[in-house]
Structure 1
């Protein structure tokens, strides 16, 4: 009967087992069909053709004296109870939340770490429009909070990275400055050495020039003496006899003319260790300035001045072209140099 079949299907029984039960019981009602289904629940469903026709044509059960309408009502009530007991949701035993399907329950388990779930007869009711709006607003608020938190974390990370970058830049700048300072010191020392060497070379060239001039003068004097038949005299000695002077200073000056070299001690007015040298007595005072400039960078040939403490005397710029002999500095003297 179509009514019995629909009732059994509404109760949740498998359609193939319903067909088997109705055919096997000869369509004698709901109760025999349901008894057949429960008795053969663990057995596989045979094909419809293999079901015995004898069973289908069997006589009605003698005990079937209950009114068919009452059986239907009883079975419908039983089906409703079975449907009511059917699981309609999955419930988290730890927090009490219910989920419509397994996928949502698994998502909740991944997020919360909960692992205790059970089937529930509670039905997940669809959200109303107001609840949907509230859920959407809540979701938007959570997303905004998450974005804000992420922005704060990104800003902090960016700030830390910027600090590291600046520190690295400062360290590199410091290293670069130190390298540049070392290079500048090396360059200054090289220039100082070059300047000293240049001054020494210039002084040596001038001394050689003076020596060459003196040698040429001596040669010319000898040749002239030979031509005139006079005895050869030293060019360094005076060609004319000076008038006799009783002054001791004049006698000292005349005696000084006999020395070919002059030994000098030069002291700086700013202090420090003195410099000593020996120069030809015919060398100009400017040669002393050039010698001093070759020894220290503190002295400039064009600006340095010289003086004597005893006898007290200050040499002017016009004296720089005069020889040490003419200035009375032979055979030795002590000069005070002011840079």
Structure 2
């Protein structure tokens, strides 16, 4: 059977599967071996030592008493026979196919599920070279179809896996973008809080400096009054408050409003409502210091974005006015400002 083995190997079949097929079919020819290879294509190759070779040829007379194995095989196939039967082949009563021996008939029964067989005196002739070539061509066609179908299925599976991979990649990118956006928002809020805290600290420091300066000035005035034997100056608000409007009115009447006042008293009202805030700043202080003072009082106020307006006379201060002094803006000696955060 070396010719059948070489033929199958030449067709590209694996050597181990060829050995399995030939042994499992009892070396009964090329066609049974090819059928076996196709039938068990997806199955693992068993240990060849455990594979039993099928029964031999049935061309000789089959006597039930002399060959118990063939008798049992025939009985399992549903073949009834006498004590002495001259048989050349076995025929499937259900489809009419003829087989050379019980091994091939058993193989057919396993594949088709047919279970009715009978002995036949018809002799099976060996395949001609032309028939062998035709069978080989049919086998190649079947194998090519199977490979093509398998390639199509693998391509579909690859496409589905690629779609899943891309979707997972898009979802991951979306999650990353959302996390990045959240981090940016947190960072912006942190910077804003830091800026407001800095403004508060600066306003507090400046207010302390102004308070210290005012305290030193009052102390110096008292010491001078004591040295000169003059009455001590009253630093209370009750005395200075009536004097300031009178002085402001006189200055306004003379056209030099704000020039003679070193300090400016401001009342700041929020456009959103709530209690007003008052402070006293140097008349030379820029409007920006008012914004920093207000930021020190309210967390919701950003000195970089807050705006100020005046009702009497009606005026809205631009960002360029924030670097001008209170004296230049005509806010001395006192004024009321409306702040919008």
Q: When the two structures are superposed, what TM-score results if normalisation uses the length of structure 2?
A: 0.58
Post-superposition offset of 1:274: 8.7
Post-superposition offset of 1:154: 0.9
Are 1:334 and 2:301 counterparts?
A: no
Partner of 1:205: 205
Post-superposition offset of 1:326: 8.5
Checking the alignment, whether the CA contact within 8 Å between 2:196 and 2:302 is kept in structure 1 is no
Q: RMSD of aligned C-alpha atoms?
A: 4.6
Partner of 2:7: none
Post-superposition offset of 1:247: 5.9
Post-superposition offset of 1:273: 6.7
Partner of 2:21: none
Checking the alignment, whether the CA contact within 8 Å between 2:226 and 2:232 is kept in structure 1 is yes
Label 1:109 to 1:192 Cα distance change in 2 as closer, same or farther (>3 A): farther
Partner of 2:164: 164
Distance 2:201 2:248 in 1: 42
Are 1:322 and 2:325 counterparts?
A: yes
Partner of 1:300: 304
Post-superposition offset of 1:296: 5.2
- The equivalent position to 1:289 in structure 2, one of 291, 298, 301, is 291
Q: When the two structures are superposed, what TM-score results if normalisation uses the length of structure 1?
A: 0.58
Are 1:263 and 2:236 counterparts?
A: no
Distance 2:324 2:137 in 1: 103
Partner of 1:140: 140
Structure of larger gyration radius: 1
Partner of 1:55: none
Q: Secondary structure at the match of 1:300?
A: coil
Partner of 1:60: none
Post-superposition offset of 1:94: 2.6
How many residue pairs get aligned? The number is: 254
Checking the alignment, whether the CA contact within 8 Å between 1:305 and 1:315 is kept in structure 2 is yes
Post-superposition offset of 1:168: 2.3
Any residues of structure 2 matched to 1:169-318 within 5 Å, and which?
169-234=169-234, 249-250=252-253, 261-265=265-269, 267=271, 276-282=276-282, 284=285, 285-291=287-293, 295=299, 300=304, 306-313=308-315
Distance 1:242 1:188 in 2: 45
